[in-house]
Amino acid sequence: MGFFLEVLIGGLLAGVLYSLVALGFVLIFKASGVFNFAQGAMVLTAALALVRALDVFEQWHWPFGVALASAFVFAAVVMAIVAWVAERLVLRKLVNQEGIILFMATIGVTFFLEGMAQTVFGADVYPLNIGLPKDPLFILESLFDGGILVNELDIWAAVIAGLLVTGLALFFQRTRIGRALRAVADDHAAAQSVGIPLNQIWFIVWLVAGLVALVAGAVWGAKLGVQFSLSLLALKALPVLILGGFTSVPGAIIGGLVIGAGEKISEVFLGPSLGGGIEIWFAYVLALLFLLVRPQGMFGERIIERV
């Protein structure tokens, strides 16, 4: 029982990190109807910008706090540039195209960003230290023999994810821009006709997604080191989206938790009998089975089609 709980908690905490990546997808999809495959590449770009800037600032012997803050600002500026270029050169040119064409265009953006980020910032594995503790922690020792092992970093990641979601919820509900974003998400044409500038909104939403990518990149980078595999996180986040629905922020969170937990539990308890390594497709099959029952995901809006 203790072992099961340990696996479950480990899975849930990993799921939080998937949710962080999935959140970026949901934001862009809600506001522009674009299924942004490039989210993973954005995580990679943000994390590489962050870690390389931090290295440089530390070489200049800036105090750690200042260096870290400046590196975050630098990475945010990089993400702003990415958002601006994406809006200007891709989205604006493809207005009114079908969703699937925009989707393929973002696959192109993915390759471009991956190549670009690695050319500019280098392609090695960079350890990232953002001052989060990494010690293993034993909890509930009174209940179980030897307690349950969790990583302190994962707990911090969960806290950060919680703060981020709260912040985004406030931003969407309470601010002028947030209201405009929701209006655009609801109906492009109607929003435009009441004077909401679409291009600006798209830039803002890509920027917000870029910042979410930065947070995800920082947390994942601190956990695994900043390396190319961060880009593949996007592929991990897709089943989360299917499960949670493309348009729902809570869906992304809960989907992430379900996938994270399901993945770890299946790997530990089912994997050995199947030859191991089933993590990578288990999430997809889970999501696929779910799709057959509810095509719009757990929290997605009902798809109604008219001729």
Partner 1 sequence: MIYREAGQYKASYQADQAIFPIAQDRFVMLALLAIAFFVVPLVATEYVYRAVLIPTVILALAAIGLNVLMGYCGQVSLGSGAFMGVGAYAAYNLAIRLPFLNPFVCILLSGFVAAAVGLVFGIPSLRIKGFYLAVATLAAQFFGDWAFLRVKWITDYTPSGSVNAPPLQILGWDLSSPTANYLVSLAFAVMLALGVKNIVRGHIGRQWMAIRDMDIAAEIIGVRPMYAKLTAFAVSSFLIGVAGALWAFVYLGSWEPAAFDINRSFQLMFMVIIGSVLGAIFIVVMPIFLNQALPPLGAAFGWRISTATVSHFEAMIFGALIVFFLVVEPHGLARLWSIAKEKLRLWPFPH
Shortest spacing between CB 276 and partner 1, in angstroms: 7
Contact between 84 and partner 1 per CB under 8 A: no
Shortest Cβ 278–partner 1 spacing (Å): 7
The token duo for 131 is 């001052």
The correct pick among 63, 73, 88, 97 for binding partner 1 (CB under 8 A) is 97
Closer CB to partner 1, 151 or 231, in the complex: 231
Examine residue 90 and tell whether it contacts partner 1 (CB under 8 A). yes
**CA separation, residue 260 to residues 12, 74, 94, 257, 274 (Å):** 5, 31, 35, 5, 19
Question: What phi and psi values does residue 126 have, to the nearest 5 degrees?
Answer: -110, 120
Cα–Cα distance measured from residue 252 to residue 20, given in angstroms and rounded to the nearest whole number? 8
**Tokens at 251, concatenated:** 């869906």
Residue range at the interface with partner 1 (CB under 8 A); choices 10-18, 48-56, 72-80, 94-102: 94-102
Q: Is residue 238 a contact point for partner 1 (CB under 8 A)?
A: yes
Sign of the torsion angle spanned by Cα atoms 62, 65, 69, 71? positive
Residues 97, 80: Cα–Cα separation, whole Å: 24
Q: Which of 5, 107, 183, 224 binds partner 1 (CB under 8 A)?
A: 107
Question: Among residues 19, 32, 110, 266, which is the contact residue for partner 1, using CB under 8 A?
Answer: 110
- 101 contacts partner 1 (rule: CB under 8 A): yes
Q: Tell me which of 99, 133, 146, 272 binds partner 1, using CB under 8 A.
A: 99
Applying CB under 8 A, among 3, 64, 66, 115 the residue interacting with partner 1 is: 115
Q: Which listed residue (174, 292, 302, 304) binds partner 1 by CB under 8 A?
A: 292
**CB neighbours of 291 closer than 8 A, spacing ≥ 6?**
242, 297
Q: Six-digit token pair at 276?
A: 């191991």
Residue type (1 letter), 260: G
What x/- string results for residues 239 through 268 when contact with partner 1 is judged by CB under 8 A?
A: x-xx--------------------------
Q: Which of residues 191-210 bind partner 1 (CB under 8 A)?
A: none
3-class secondary-structure state, position 151: strand
Structure tokens belonging to residue 152: 């302190």
Q: Is 272 in the site for partner 1 (CB under 8 A)?
A: no
Using alpha carbons, select from 240, 237, 193 the residue that is nearest to residue 213.
237
Quote the DSSP letter at residue 149.
Answer: E
- Do 259 and 48 touch, CB atoms closer than 8 A? no
How many residues bind partner 1, per CB under 8 A?
A: 47
User: Which residues here bind partner 1, judged by CB under 8 A?
Assistant: 35, 89-90, 93-94, 97, 99-101, 103-105, 107-116, 118-119, 123, 235, 238-239, 241-242, 274-278, 280-281, 284-285, 287-288, 291-292, 295, 305-307
